[in-house]
Structure 1
Amino acid sequence: MNLNADQRRGLTRQQVEESRRLHGANVLTPPKEESLWRLFLDKFKDPLIIVLLMAGVLSVLISCYEYFALHQAGTVFFEPVGIFMAIFLATGLSFYFEKKAEDEFKILNQVNDDELVQVIRDGNPTEISKKDVVVGDILILNTGQEIPADARLLESTQLNVDESTLTGEPMASKTTDPDHFDPEATFPSDHVMRGTRVMEGHGVAEVYAVGDSTENGKVYEAAHIDDGTKTPLTEQLERLGALVTKGSYVIGGAVILGRIVMYMLSTSGFEWLPFIAYFLQSIMIAVTLVVVSVPEGLPMAVTLSLAYSMRRMLRTNNLVRKMHACETMGATTVICTDKTGTLTQNQMRVAETDFYALPGQKLGDDAMSRLIETAVAVNSTAQLDLSDEEHPSVLGNPTEGALLLWLRQNGVDYRPLREEAKVVRELPFTTERKYMATVIAEPGGGERLFVKGAPEIVLAMSDSVNGGVERAKINEQLLGYQEKAMRTLAFATCLLPEGADGIGDNGVDADGLEFIGVVAIADPVRAEVPDSIRECINAGIAIKIVTGDTPATAREIGRQIGLWQEGDGDRNIITGPEFGALTDSELADRVGDLKIIARARPMDKKRLVETLQKQGQVVAVTGDGTNDAPALKAANVGLSMGDGTSVAKEASDITIVDNSFASIGRAVMWGRSLFQNLQRFILFQLTVNVVACLVVLVGAFMGTESPLTVTQMLWVNLIMDTFASMALSSLPPSRSVMNDRPRDRRSFIITSSMWRFIGGVGVMFAAVVLGMVYLFEHAEVNSLADILHVSIGAPQGLSPYELSIIFTTFVMLQFWNLFNARAYATHKSAFHLKACGEFLLIALVIFVGQVVIVTIGGEFFNVVPLKIEDWAIIVIGTSLVLWVGELLRIVSRIGR
């Protein structure tokens, strides 16, 4: 080693302790974990939970007044108990599923800080744990090793490092020779960074930063700054909560006003004490209505929908860490993606070959094929890990490994060729020479020279071209490969004259070298990516590639996946330095047109995300490297890859376990379908509440008390809502949602068509219930069959049987309306129930539950059993709700 005395000795034990005291340990400080109680209490920040808590407190006060002042039964406390049960069930489920996902994530993302690395300590090479490396340590770097800390090279031999986790660059040349430094490199050419990996060569380096002070650590820290960005769903629910609160207050006030007006009209002489008592009673009714109006089933529906999606998305290789990320994916308008490992396979492959004397460009049994096989297998430093025969991996230079994989695809095992070849001399590859050479002994005597390297260099060295191909044609061919962003390697060979070495001090020194062909190598696009990109674009989602690769490579990948179109130009692509030079206003003007940012630096993607968000875009970011972490954290949804770095996964909201970009489209589909499921529940829930409000409000002006008791309302307003939330939240996703444009996050969750449905159906249901109340009060009805023969008389109150009929009719109207809600926005029949087994099961539970309550509920639910014929009339009669809805859907489909 060409090291000075101190460097050869390394650090002493005392120096190690002092360095650790001054600079810290070589571990990344994990984000501070909040206590379980704090995580649970955070669930109460949901806007609808807050409204529900207020309703619960009011309900407790009402129940206390009714129990202690009016001496009513203890059943008055059922309503507040039910509300708080709904609160704790919703928050508890949300907490449980997020905690479970977090635990699964930790198992997926375990980081091994005990991995051994080689250092020099007390004058001896030794192995220590990665976490024990300190500033000043002398690292010994070998092929395949992950670099444990930021360090400055002291020695390097053919050192190439995979920096894709930090810069997106899969092969960065490192050297200690200032003459060969790359001025455009993201990090200095004599620096190696924590988290990157040695792909070939070896070296010695001195550590200058560990742990949080490394570039890897700085990005990790930036990735854990929470910007407090609200999700689109949170914004929507805040608006809905405000609307429900204001609406219930208005209706409550109208009830008080209506009762006062009716009191004045029905009282001949005004007296203060009776009026005050009546006024207080009116306030209690109004407050009760406010409590009833709050959709306590909605938080449950949100939680169940998100939890259901989390579980199902995991089956499709999407590990969701943050529950709201499921829905936010459905609102995504822009996806910013890296290239290496996400769009491409992150594995170099031979894309095209052109060996001039090889018939059909296929290896065979001829002499030329055997010569090419030997040239590829012997003149190489790479290896294949064949422990998994189906999926071999490359050890060493990925470009050379691609050649070995090409041999394997052609049925040739490189290992016997290497074992049989007797290597006489070797000339290793250097960035200065741009080629490598190997001399082997020929079986029949003599020696053969093989040369492999940059085509322009190898072609210039060659005296002839195999097959007599013109050099101009070869140059034209190479230009075509370069335009496709492919890496090219050329091969040449010759038999050496007796006594000739073929390799001299300055490189290859041989006459008669013959140029035999070229191979083009590329990191191929994942097979599923073009279709996935097309699906996202058709769904109205803009795609932007952010990569550390060259503009030519990025543009070619963009073309292959269908993002870069023929009419695109300079305004659609930019480099990292050019991007950084743009002012905020210039970037805001251009960001919508950008499709590709090449030679990007770690913070460029984060700035891109923040600029898009300022323009109202909902941004999802995909990435697998440490360099992606700040953008993953800043995005509305961060999507890391399953084999990505721990830093990237820690910063993300969803981890794509199988690394497939197709999972992005599935996540969008799930998110959009989930939002529709929430709309369906709101449609159903608010219709129920509108009916309840109208019945109480109109009843106030009619002087009629509500026909529904507290326990009946508990079934309708809580239990049935909970079942409905389970039924509608468990609906499967629909691919048809990918034909729609992304929804505007500023638009209200309740659309105009939903308002028409809620208002129209609510008024119709209320009219039916109020009509039945009026009829039953003015006529004695012992069976629904008697309605055709009854005569209207003076008010005489409602009998238990009549109340049971009204209660059951009210519930069955909602039961059939549940099927209408399920069919909302599907453009399909309500009877299209494929994969809706859970929905049908819950609908059956609701129906059977109603039968059981009416049959055996007795005084507790203030009901009596109904006759079979009355059940038949109610079920068939209320089913008209479904048939009318089905007719309207048929008309709608015809009009589309």
Structure 2
Amino acid sequence: MSQSHHYTGLTDAEVSASRLNNGINILTPPAKKPLWKRFLEKFRDPLIIILMIAGVLSICISCYEFWGLGEGSGVFFEPCGIFIAILLATGLAFFFEQKADKEFALLNQINDDEPVQVIRNGCVTQITRRDVVVGDIVILNTGEEVPADGELLEAVSLNIDESTLTGEPICHKTTDPARFDKDATFPGNHAMRGTKIMEGHGVMRVFAVGDKTENGKVFEAAQIDDSVKTPLNEQLDRLGKLISRVSYAFASAIIAGRIAMYFINVSDFDWVAFLAFFLQTLMVAVTLIVVAVPEGLPMAVTLSLAYSMRRMLKTNNLVRKMHACETMGATTVICTDKTGTLTRNQMQVYKADFFGEPSDEILYEGIAVNSTAQLDMSGDRIQVLGNPTEGALLLWLRKRGVSYLDLKDKAVTVEELPFTTERKYMATTVRSSTGKTILYVKGAPEIIFGMCKDTAGVTADEINARLLEYQNQAMRTLGFAYQEINDGDKTIADGKVVTTGLTFLGIVAISDPVRTDVPDAVKEVIEAGIKVKIVTGDTPGTAKEIGRQIGLWNDSTDSDRNIITGPEFAELSDTQLKERVRDLKIIARARPMDKKRLVEALQANNEVVAVTGDGTNDAPALKTAHVGLSMGDGTSVAKEASDITIIDNSFSSIGRAVMWGRSLYQNIQRFILFQMTVNVVACFIVLFGSFMGMQSPLTVTQMLWVNLIMDTFAAMALASLPPSASVMKDKPRPREAFIINNAMKRFIICIGGIFFLVLLAILYYFEHTNITCLTEIGSVTMGGNTGLSGYELSLFFTIFVFLQFWNMFNARAFETGRSAFHFKGCEGFSLIALSILFGQILIVSIGGEFFNVEPLRLIDWLIIIAGTSLVLWIGEIIRLFNKQPL
């Protein structure tokens, strides 16, 4: 069917009037869950549940102490502290989720800002999707999403995926009423908003925008998938179960041991006395459980994820799904596109080799009419719209003073065959301005050359030699052919060119240089233990050359085992692919579903896979991968399927995402290291104190400071540490690895054990002396058990806190290879450390009865600070001898 139209489109005045009368092209989002419901969802976290159970038990104990034993209202400080910790953790998580909602709303706005090709004022131009109005003439190309509801004016081999509206994956569209499907949900000449162009191209006139579209009528806001069970989620669940088991084991030991001690020491059994003793024992056991629960951990995780999400945006990584932050740190394989990610995506004709001296009319007209690209010349800089390779050809015409639009207007299109990755060529039949009917074919040179009867005296060997030369320089090549058609000649049938009279015109080499930052970025990722695999539709020679330029391919070590083509890839069975996939570095001439199958094969080998993609056809692989990375200028379908959007399209930004993911995980580990050490010391003090008959060395309010305020501050300090480039020298962590590694176990057990023994010795010394100043240590004679005075309790409390304070610096420097005094980029940590220091001095100095403390002398402060700082200095000496090169 002949199709040739010159559309003028709307004028600026008509656009304004249409927008006023019909509205803007934005969908009004449906109402969200009430804030209170979203807040309550934060209480589903397993650690929060443990905290709430501990809080309820603590309330029961406090009620008994207040009404049963007649103690003061201070007994309620402990449960209050626990529930304050719960509210802080859930409140912060809720706060940052709301911030994330705003960022995702911004992302939806970015989707509304997707570029759309329209014709206005007689020119092809590019506007945002939100600016499309009723009456606009919109150009539709393969891979794009239809921006509004419209009636087709032209449809060339047009197939649309309407599954978002009707469930039909492929619907053929046409402007010929005789070919309409009467049973179709929508008329055959209608294209609906939100559907995808799977094949072909067309032109439509918009008749509905925004909420008035069919998509708008059934629109439901896309929800963030927060149900993903990531490695971090799994490990925190395991940690919560471990803490529960250990704390219950400690509590059981306390109950069993104290009951045994009771029967050993009591000769006359009295039920009333035993019940009182048993209740006191239960309170001690529950107190230990409460102490063991890491109140600050949920907050540390939330802070780390939120901090990383915000800061990663500055490295051109727009995180769409929170789990992707930490999953990137566990990535073992990155499957990357070539064009736009490894290269600049700035296609230009490097050299044109035409044979047989074809006429300019044939050559230029063939390039102009057999193309789906457009040039936007409305701005200061000419912009290619559509396929960049085809756009390079149009720019090549323009440099020669040829207007491709004039040539297209003068020619009448008779028939078109769009490009597909299976055919690897496209064809257009036109009634030329010369009066002849001509078939133009363009595509992979080796295929085009093989279809030609007249090769202009050029041999296949000559063509192959030139192609090899260009491909070895990582250039894309296109072949051109034509044929003058007589009445009755067969040209296109069954989705392919069937004529046998084509004349070969020649080849064009088009270059797309590698980005200058990519070789270093790929080297960094490979040194980090992550394998890189290129998946491209280019020839093996082109793909191999790009691999060489970025440092992925080495001719001396790599072989045919490391590269495969799409057809060869398809022939492999799943078992063969699983064995072969480890060695593959490049898949050339890849087809749309090859990337998804590659991801599945890698996952079957227990790899954690990240995938880059920018096209609609990449969506299956992006969804299948552990982390999908869409490109900033990719299709909205690709972005919707992805977890992170790489705003600048550069591979170096992917390396930054890996660095952030690994650093985030280490920050969480450092907080766990710090808090578990505190909890181990506190648990053993309570356990041994209960057997030795000591009075509680730490009061409820003092534990509130240690377990709540200090842990909260530590969570903020350690969770917000900046990323370190040194993590890129490590290998990826195994997905199943426990978050507490062997080095952390040794640290917690050794440091916690040392602290416990030191504090136990101090307690014993204080109980058997009467210390009024730390300068008296060594000069006071030890005697019988004199108990603990208020001053001695204040000394013990302060020593306990400062041991943990200095240990926080050791936790900060854990496995960094750096000194704990490396404060560059850690201003927040320094501020929080000072807050803890002065907070402790303030509490002891003026806390009085509320914290059960007495002011200390200046000399005591100096001795405690200096003495406990040995924890840091010993740590510095150890790090000095174990220093790793950065």
- TM-score tier by shorter-chain length is 0.7 to 0.9
Match of 1:322 in 2: 321
Which whole-Å CA distance do the structure 2 matches of 1:162 and 1:568 have between them? 41
Which whole-Å CA distance do the structure 2 matches of 1:647 and 1:840 have between them? 44
Which whole-Å CA distance do the structure 1 matches of 2:150 and 2:562 have between them? 38
Match of 2:781 in 1: 791
Gaps of 5+ in 2: 4-24, 120-128, 165-172, 177-188, 418-425, 435-439, 490-503
Which whole-Å CA distance do the structure 1 matches of 2:55 and 2:226 have between them? 32
- Aligned AA for 2:467? L
Deviation at 1:841, TM superposition (A): 0.5
Which whole-Å CA distance do the structure 1 matches of 2:320 and 2:401 have between them? 48
Which whole-Å CA distance do the structure 2 matches of 1:731 and 1:284 have between them? 38
- Aligned AA for 1:529? V
Matched, 1:659 2:658: no
Q: 1:114 to 1:571 in 2, by over 3 A?
A: closer
- Aligned AA for 2:266? T
- C-alpha contact (below 8 Å) 2:153/2:202 kept by paired residues: no
- Aligned AA for 2:241? A
Q: How does 1:747-762 map to 2 (within 5 A)?
A: 747-762=737-752
Deviation at 1:308, TM superposition (A): 1.1
- Aligned AA for 2:865? V
> Which moves more between the two structures, 696-705 or 631-640?
631-640
- How many residues align? The count is 787
Pick from 860, 876, 879: which aligns with 2:850?
A: 860
Pick from 446, 466, 491: which aligns with 1:477?
A: 466
- C-alpha contact (below 8 Å) 1:146/1:198 kept by paired residues: no
Q: How big is each residue's C-alpha offset from its partner over 1:28-56, in whole Å with a ceiling of 9 and x where there is no partner?
A: 99999665445433333322222222222
Matched, 1:834 2:824: yes
Q: 1:592 to 1:225 in 2, by over 3 A?
A: farther
Q: How does 1:844-859 map to 2 (within 5 A)?
A: 844-859=834-849
Which whole-Å CA distance do the structure 1 matches of 2:346 and 2:884 have between them? 51
Q: 1:788 to 1:852 in 2, by over 3 A?
A: same
Pick from 629, 632, 635: which aligns with 1:639?
A: 629
Deviation at 1:545, TM superposition (A): 3.9
Matched, 1:713 2:712: no
Question: 3-state SS of the aligned residue for 2:628?
Answer: strand
- Aligned AA for 1:530? P
Q: 1:868 to 1:226 in 2, by over 3 A?
A: closer
Q: How big is each residue's C-alpha offset from its partner over 1:356-395, in whole Å with a ceiling of 9 and x where there is no partner?
A: 9xxxxxxxxxxxxxx99x9989975776435665x64214
Q: 1:726 to 1:823 in 2, by over 3 A?
A: same
- C-alpha contact (below 8 Å) 1:31/1:224 kept by paired residues: no
Deviation at 1:881, TM superposition (A): 0.6
Q: How big is each residue's C-alpha offset from its partner over 1:426-454, in whole Å with a ceiling of 9 and x where there is no partner?
A: 899987889999999xxxxxxxxxx9978
Q: 1:71 to 1:324 in 2, by over 3 A?
A: farther
Q: How big is each residue's C-alpha offset from its partner over 1:123-156, in whole Å with a ceiling of 9 and x where there is no partner?
A: xxxxxx99999xxxxx996789965699999977
Q: How does 1:241-320 map to 2 (within 5 A)?
A: 241-320=240-319
Q: How does 1:668-707 map to 2 (within 5 A)?
A: 668-707=658-697
Question: 3-state SS of the aligned residue for 1:336?
Answer: strand
- C-alpha contact (below 8 Å) 1:376/1:404 kept by paired residues: no
- C-alpha contact (below 8 Å) 1:105/1:319 kept by paired residues: no
Question: 3-state SS of the aligned residue for 1:520?
Answer: strand
Q: 1:415 to 1:746 in 2, by over 3 A?
A: same
- C-alpha contact (below 8 Å) 1:117/1:130 kept by paired residues: no
- Aligned AA for 1:620? A
- C-alpha contact (below 8 Å) 2:2/2:412 kept by paired residues: no
Question: 3-state SS of the aligned residue for 1:659?
Answer: coil
Matched, 1:781 2:780: no
- Aligned AA for 1:84? F
- C-alpha contact (below 8 Å) 1:154/1:206 kept by paired residues: no
Deviation at 1:240, TM superposition (A): 0.7
- Aligned AA for 1:891? F
Pick from 381, 385, 389: which aligns with 2:376?
A: 385
- Aligned AA for 2:41? D
Which whole-Å CA distance do the structure 1 matches of 2:592 and 2:107 have between them? 24
> Which moves more between the two structures, 856-865 or 621-630?
621-630
> Which moves more between the two structures, 567-576 or 229-238?
567-576
Question: 3-state SS of the aligned residue for 2:778?
Answer: helix
Question: 3-state SS of the aligned residue for 2:335?
Answer: strand
> Which moves more between the two structures, 75-84 or 431-440?
431-440
Which whole-Å CA distance do the structure 1 matches of 2:299 and 2:668 have between them? 10
Q: 1:197 to 1:344 in 2, by over 3 A?
A: farther
Deviation at 1:476, TM superposition (A): 2.3
- C-alpha contact (below 8 Å) 1:813/1:878 kept by paired residues: yes
Which whole-Å CA distance do the structure 2 matches of 1:578 and 1:152 have between them? 41
- C-alpha contact (below 8 Å) 2:564/2:587 kept by paired residues: yes
Matched, 1:100 2:99: yes
Q: 1:147 to 1:723 in 2, by over 3 A?
A: closer
Matched, 1:533 2:532: no
Q: How does 1:314-713 map to 2 (within 5 A)?
A: 314-351=313-350, 380=368, 384-385=375-376, 389=380, 392-395=382-385, 398-403=388-393, 414=399, 476-482=465-471, 486-488=475-477, 519-547=508-536, 554=543, 557-566=546-555, 567-569=558-560, 572-573=563-564, 575=566, 578-579=569-570, 584-597=574-587, 605-713=595-703
Q: How big is each residue's C-alpha offset from its partner over 1:499-537, in whole Å with a ceiling of 9 and x where there is no partner?
A: xxx999799xxxxxxx99964114444443333333222
- C-alpha contact (below 8 Å) 1:453/1:490 kept by paired residues: yes
Pick from 854, 875, 881: which aligns with 1:891?
A: 881
Which whole-Å CA distance do the structure 2 matches of 1:147 and 1:322 have between them? 25
Match of 1:80 in 2: 79
Which whole-Å CA distance do the structure 2 matches of 1:116 and 1:380 have between them? 21
- C-alpha contact (below 8 Å) 1:27/1:113 kept by paired residues: no
Question: 3-state SS of the aligned residue for 2:856?
Answer: coil
Deviation at 1:299, TM superposition (A): 0.8
Which whole-Å CA distance do the structure 2 matches of 1:227 and 1:336 have between them? 24
- Aligned AA for 2:860? D
Q: How does 1:161-200 map to 2 (within 5 A)?
A: none
Q: Percent identity?
A: 59
Which whole-Å CA distance do the structure 2 matches of 1:313 and 1:528 have between them? 18
* Superposition TM-score, scaled by structure 2 size: 0.75
Question: 3-state SS of the aligned residue for 1:893?
Answer: coil
Deviation at 1:352, TM superposition (A): 5.2
Deviation at 1:259, TM superposition (A): 2.5
Match of 1:823 in 2: 813
Q: 1:626 to 1:807 in 2, by over 3 A?
A: same
Question: 3-state SS of the aligned residue for 2:611?
Answer: strand
- C-alpha contact (below 8 Å) 2:561/2:584 kept by paired residues: no
- C-alpha contact (below 8 Å) 2:848/2:854 kept by paired residues: yes
Deviation at 1:342, TM superposition (A): 3.6
Q: How big is each residue's C-alpha offset from its partner over 1:692-739, in whole Å with a ceiling of 9 and x where there is no partner?
A: 111111212221122110000000111000001111111110011011
Q: How big is each residue's C-alpha offset from its partner over 1:257-288, in whole Å with a ceiling of 9 and x where there is no partner?
A: 33234434443444343233212211110111
Which whole-Å CA distance do the structure 1 matches of 2:107 and 2:279 have between them? 60
Q: 1:302 to 1:549 in 2, by over 3 A?
A: same
Q: 1:255 to 1:147 in 2, by over 3 A?
A: closer
Which whole-Å CA distance do the structure 2 matches of 1:696 and 1:142 have between them? 72
Deviation at 1:804, TM superposition (A): 0.9
- Aligned AA for 2:67? F
Deviation at 1:638, TM superposition (A): 2.6
Which whole-Å CA distance do the structure 2 matches of 1:46 and 1:650 have between them? 27
- C-alpha contact (below 8 Å) 2:610/2:628 kept by paired residues: yes
Q: 1:130 to 1:876 in 2, by over 3 A?
A: closer
Deviation at 1:397, TM superposition (A): 6.2
- C-alpha contact (below 8 Å) 2:522/2:551 kept by paired residues: yes
Q: 1:330 to 1:27 in 2, by over 3 A?
A: same
